[in-house]
Amino acid sequence: MPAPIALVPLPRSAEWTAAAPFVVGADTVVVVGPTPAETALGELATELLSRVTGHRLRAVQDPGAGAAIRFRLVPGGRSEAYTLTVGADGVLVEAGDPDGLAHGLSTLRQVLAQTGTELPAGRIEDAPRFAWRGLSVDIARHFFGPAELRRVVELMADHKLNVLHLHLSDDQGWRIDLPSHPELAELSGASAVDGDPGGFLTGGDYRELVAFAAVRGIRVVPEVDVPGHVNAALHAVPELTPDGTAADVYTGIEVGFSKLAADLPATEPFLRDVFRDLAALTPGEYLHIGGDEVLTMEPAEYARLIDMAARAVRDTGKKVVGWQEIATTPLEPGTVVQFWDPREDVTPFVEAARAGAQLLMSPGSKAYLDMQYHEGFPLGLHWAGYVALRDSYDWEPTTLIEGLPADAVIGVEAAVWTETLRTMDDLTTMLLPRLAAVAEVAWTDGDRRDWDDFAGRVAAQAGDWRARGIVFHPAEPVEWPR
């Protein structure tokens, strides 16, 4: 029998046999169907597999091709599920949708990263546990541009995550150019924490990122955070301030001091403009309204502003996502509440779920990947505690909130905030290997997860990360290969 392949996240089943392997060679072709989605997947497959095997592969649509890696859409089946079958005469990846084929490709690439050109014979049957498996990336505190975000998307695809949640605005900067308010990017796009360089995404940048992610089975959920975390907006649009005076640029990292005002005539039109523009740029189902850490506002005004923002989103035909604080206000069924602070009273979240809301689990003490690994770590903060690799792995999303029905949990999302992160190496150091841990929590059924087993499998990814120039932290207590 061949040596076991170390896959992360752990698939539902993987059976390897002693039959002859399939060897990828110079004559191997990638066979895909004729639809635009399949054609795009074929281009991605040839790029990824050529890079990992060293052979220049090409994509064809001839089902009679010889030594081939075939990607085939089959009717029915669960969304994002796939099967991968390897025999001496070829490889077959089957799925009911293009996202499933993309996940099968990720698995195939991960196997080849460990074996070179030889694929052991066998069969993998796989499907995700949760429908929402995300990563929230803060590009407001420090700006990460299109090239860096594409690298983040590639890491997400490696781990079968399917939602890139972009935190596009905060007190320190505004990171998306919107046609209704070009002054937001023009005036508040250049600032960042500590006076570091800023930047923003053009509409074209954003659309290209959405397309790049979609081929890899990932949708983008944009967040404009209101009614707090709005100093950058108040700087660019002084009509949003009670006295009509533009707020000063802010480059610190404190929270909770900025806010919109419900009674100002400019507020509701501003919210409608911003979310209408975001909806026009975003093909997915969801827009994120933020809603967190509004520390100097009365509850009644907060509820009015959340309602304004939510109605602005719903009027575009999108669904609402917000941080956990929105659960203290009346919510429409289907709203997604993102749980992040386990220190707070959980009663509103249980009540929101009973009223039809869904809970997205992002506990700071487990899934906030900007938290320091341990005391004295040179990057990150620790207000939610120190988050070791095992902390990011050993938790169960459906039991985090006592009294919450398990079926109210829509999924799991990691988050990385960038107050202290300036470079791509900083970002990947904090993400890896903990992103792999959270991804397995999101993908793999809880009764199949085992820390010791995961520790061995995640260590086996180190060679691939190093070969690709990805900086990561060799977190304890895993025994990492040199």
- Same domain for 77 and 219, yes or no, is no
Whether 72 and 174 map to the same domain: the answer is: no
Please determine, for residue 105, whether its predicted confidence score (pLDDT) is greater than 80.
yes
Q: Select from 126, 152, 168 the last residue of a domain.
A: 126
Identify whether 343 is part of a domain.
Answer: yes
Q: Are residues 189 and 245 in the same domain?
A: yes
Q: Does 115 share its domain with 203?
A: no
pTM: 0.98
- 364 domain residue, yes or no: yes
Beta pairing partners, 91:
69, 86
Q: Which domain holds residue 72?
A: 13-126
Q: Is residue 25 part of a domain?
A: yes
In a domain, 347, yes or no: yes
pLDDT digits (tens, 9 = 90+) for 49-99: 999 999 999 999 976 767 899 999 999 989 999 999 999 989 999 999 999
For range 459-479, the mean pLDDT: 98
Q: Is the pLDDT of residue 321 over 80?
A: yes
Mark whether 54 and 174 lie in a shared domain. no
Confidence at residue 30, expressed as pLDDT on a 0 to 100 scale: 96
Residue 57 lies in a domain: yes
Domain end among 75, 103, 126:
126
Of 80, 100, 126, the one marking the end of a domain is 126
Give the mean pLDDT of the chain. 97
CA distance 44 to 160: 15
Domain membership flag for residue 475: no
Distances (CA, A) of 480 to 387, 391, 411, 436, 472: 19, 18, 30, 15, 11
Q: Are 86 and 230 within one domain?
A: no
Question: What is the per-residue pLDDT for 3?
Answer: 60
Alpha-helical regions (H) of 261-298: 267-281
Phi, psi dihedrals of residue 124, rounded to the nearest 5°: -115, 130
Peptide bond preceding 9: is omega within 30 degrees of 0, i.e. cis? Answer: yes
Q: Are residues 99 and 118 in the same domain?
A: yes
CA–CA distance, 67 with 418 (Å, rounded to integer): 46
Q: Look at residue 2 and tell me whether its pLDDT is greater than 90.
A: no
pLDDT of residue 282: 98
- The answer to whether residues 98 and 30 belong to one domain is yes
Name the residues annotated as catalytic.
Answer: 293
**356-389 tens-digit pLDDT:** 999 999 999 999 999 999 999 999 999 999 999 9
* CATH value at residue 171: 3.20.20.80
Q: Which residues contact 342 (CB under 8 A, 6 or more apart)?
A: 363, 364, 365, 400
Per-residue confidence (pLDDT) for residue 73, from 0 to 100: 97
Q: How many CB atoms lie within 10 A of CB 402?
A: 8
Q: Could you report the per-residue pLDDT of 113-138, keeping only the tens digit for each?
A: 999 999 999 999 999 999 999 999 99
| pLDDT tens, residue by residue, 393-445 | 999 999 999 999 999 999 999 999 999 999 999 999 999 999 999 999 999 99
Give buried/exposed letters for 415-434 (b at 16+ CB in 10 A, else e).
bbbbbbbbebebbbbbbbbb
Domain count for the chain: 2
In this structure, the strands spanning 82-87 and 122-126 are: antiparallel
Task: Give 184-208 pLDDT, tens digit per residue.
Answer: 999 999 999 999 999 999 999 999 9
Q: Distances in Å between the alpha carbon of 295 and those of 118, 205, 259, 270, 321?
A: 57, 34, 9, 22, 20
Q: Residue 256 pLDDT > 60, yes or no?
A: yes
Query: Cβ neighbours of residue 32 under 8 Å, at least 6 residues apart?
Result: 38, 39, 41, 42, 45, 59, 60, 61, 70, 71
- CATH number of the domain residue 47 falls in: 3.30.379.10
Same domain, 101 and 156: no
Same domain, 93 and 155: no
Q: How confident is the model at residue 64, as a pLDDT?
A: 74
- 27-34 mean pLDDT: 94
